[in-house]
Structure 1
Amino acid sequence: MIAKNHVLGLDIGGTKISSGLNADGLIFERLENKTPHSESQEYILEAIAEQISHYLPYRFQAIGIGIPGLVDPDRGIVYNLANIPSFQKVPMKDFLESRFNVPVVVNNDANCFTLGEYHFGPTKIHRHVVGITLGTGIGTGIIANNHLYTGYICGAGEWGGVSYLDKTFEDYCSSKFFKDQYGESAKRLAKRALDQDPLGVEAFSTYGTHLGTLITRILYTYAPEAIVIGGSIRKAFPLFEKTMMQAVDTFPYKAISNHLRIYVSELDDSAILGAISLVAEHQFQQDNSKISNPAIS
């Protein structure tokens, strides 16, 4: 199938690079390769370019990229990726635009997850949405007034680094919590909880309280109408839903919390779909900037 006027989306992580083209909200020609995360910046960029080259017969018109860490979406520069050590200040946009001669838009991967869910999932009926990814770490993305809000170099919504108890929210709301507090993986403890093992049940009950507390902080800060939960830990949602909601119910402004809808992601490719959606979103932001600053031409 030749996909004229379509956009190529890439989700670049520390372990794998996933990519695909969109057709009416569905991903086709999906490709996945290991990320050579320990290699040099030049080597990794060439690996990304090689994966993109696979799609040249499909005549894509633009490239959207989601990547963990801080990103300057205007200049397409990636900063300080913890899981790809050589990526400290990478001119991703310039490199790929010079190679493929199409527009390239780069943004944070949690923002892409949230944008993908907003455009192609049930949260599209809401104006204000926060996406939370729960996995090795936690990430958040913000939709405000129907559009992605990123702050300066995509630093908005970095709740993982916010102080909580004796550490940070990431220590209590990601898979680190299970390893550090119970000495086992979230996957193993989930299996134990499903078998009604007391340790597994306790672990996820306590986890739900921590996550619910994080959600109350988000309600104070952004007052979203909806929250969508993604990441690998979302698969255990029934194990921590009750205590999570009990914590959310402590939020004092009931006009906000009673209106809140919480969704669990059911999209397989929300990050890629979000990366694809970046192109239209970036164009909106550029057009809006020109309206606000008439001198810009």
Structure 2
Amino acid sequence: MIPVLEIGGTHVTAALVDLRDGRVTSRTRKPLDADGDAEDILGVVRHCADGPPVPPGARWGVAAPGPFDHARGVALFKGVGTFDALYGMDLRAALLDGLRQRPGDVVFLNDAHAFLTGEWSTGTVRGHRRAVGITLGTGVGSAFLADGRICDSGPGVPLEGRMDLTHDIAGRARAGEARAQRVLDDVFTGLGVALGPRLRDFGATALVVGGSMARSWDIVAPALSTGLVTGGWTAGARRTRAMKPAGPAGDAALVGAARAAVLAGGKPS
């Protein structure tokens, strides 16, 4: 079982993952204030990580949003509205030294990359050679995957594989506020128009959507689909193309983080 953490803008989750079947156990989830000071944020992360029964010396996988130096484990949040207090902090060292059961190593992975890797391993885009994933929450994360590996360059892939956007008004739209619905329609249509040519050029046969906004699929899907068609990528136009919401358990990023931890040890899975 691989210990993992997923750090998000509103919560942190710790769990154990069995990569043989993608099973997630011993899940601990705690609310997180991304606008808090550094010690408060780290305190919540550490407290959450101390929940699952993890043996000392284990290698952890951690899914964390950008901007972040995932190779070194250093936070680079600046001017993005979240985790500003962590700027320049070595989170790898903070976890190596601060967890009750001392890790042997901590491996960081971009949260969107972890999400898509997990969905490809055991989720909704399993079997697709080329797939794209987007996470919709307080912002937009994106990842491009070919034959099981994340791509950060090539046809259709934006710089560093990133497409950024912010929004948080789904509740108002669902409550019947017409202006909120129009804004969301414009946002997701625009996102689809921007994504469409990239998915076409990348040769993606699947787009999977995760994050908190994926729970509002009835709001997201129509406008996003319209934009994708306008942008030249028609989900469902052929049997090989599909746009899907992430699995209901929301475990993909945890599975992806676990894969990163195993691969860092030189053990393919």
Same fold (TM over 0.5): yes
TM-score range, shorter chain: 0.7 to 0.9
The 5-angstrom pairing of residues 89-238 of structure 1 reads 89-99=88-98, 100-150=102-152, 156-160=160-164, 170=165, 174-175=167-168, 185-192=169-176, 202-203=182-183, 205-219=185-199, 222-238=202-218
Give the partner amino acid of 1:11: E
The match for 2:10 is: 15
Q: Distance in 1 between matches of 2:182 and 2:254?
A: 35
Q: Tell whether the 8 Å contact from 1:10 to 1:64 is kept in structure 2 after alignment.
A: yes
3-state SS, counterpart of residue 84 of structure 2 = coil
In the TM superposition, what whole-angstrom CA distance separates every residue of 1:101-144 from its partner, at most 9, and x where no partner exists? Answer: 42211122222222221222021211222111112211112212
Give the partner amino acid of 1:279: A
How much does 1:150 deviate? 4.9
Q: Distance in 2 between matches of 1:86 and 1:60?
A: 29
* Ranges of 4+ aligned residues in structure 1 off by more than 4 Å: 56-60, 197-205, 251-254, 256-259
Q: Distance in 2 between matches of 1:111 and 1:47?
A: 23
Q: Tell whether the 8 Å contact from 2:200 to 2:232 is kept in structure 1 after alignment.
A: no
Q: Distance in 1 between matches of 2:243 and 2:111?
A: 20
Q: Distance in 1 between matches of 2:205 and 2:260?
A: 22
- Structure with greater helix percent: 1
Q: Tell whether the 8 Å contact from 2:192 to 2:226 is kept in structure 1 after alignment.
A: yes
3-state SS, counterpart of residue 172 of structure 2 = helix
TM-score, normalising length: structure 2: 0.78
Give the partner amino acid of 1:12: I
Give the partner amino acid of 1:105: V
Q: Distance in 2 between matches of 1:85 and 1:143?
A: 29
The match for 1:280 is: 262
Q: What are structure 2's unaligned runs of at least 5 residues?
A: 154-158
Q: Tell whether the 8 Å contact from 1:8 to 1:60 is kept in structure 2 after alignment.
A: no
In the TM superposition, what whole-angstrom CA distance separates every residue of 1:156-215 from its partner, at most 9, and x where no partner exists? Answer: 22211xxxxxxxxx25xx33xxxxxxxxx21121242xxxx8656655544442232122
Let me know the Cα RMSD of the aligned residues: 3.2
Give the partner amino acid of 1:61: A
Q: Tell whether the 8 Å contact from 1:17 to 1:32 is kept in structure 2 after alignment.
A: yes
Q: Distance in 2 between matches of 1:105 and 1:57?
A: 16
How much does 1:216 deviate? 1.1
Q: Distance in 1 between matches of 2:199 and 2:162?
A: 15
The match for 2:27 is: 30
Percent sequence identity over matched residues? 23
Which is higher, the Rg of structure 1 or of structure 2?
A: 1
How much does 1:269 deviate? 2.3
3-state SS, counterpart of residue 124 of structure 1 = coil
Give the partner amino acid of 1:147: R
How much does 1:65 deviate? 0.8
TM-score, normalising length: structure 1: 0.72
The 5-angstrom pairing of residues 46-125 of structure 1 reads 46-56=43-53, 61-80=58-77, 82=80, 83-99=82-98, 100-125=102-127
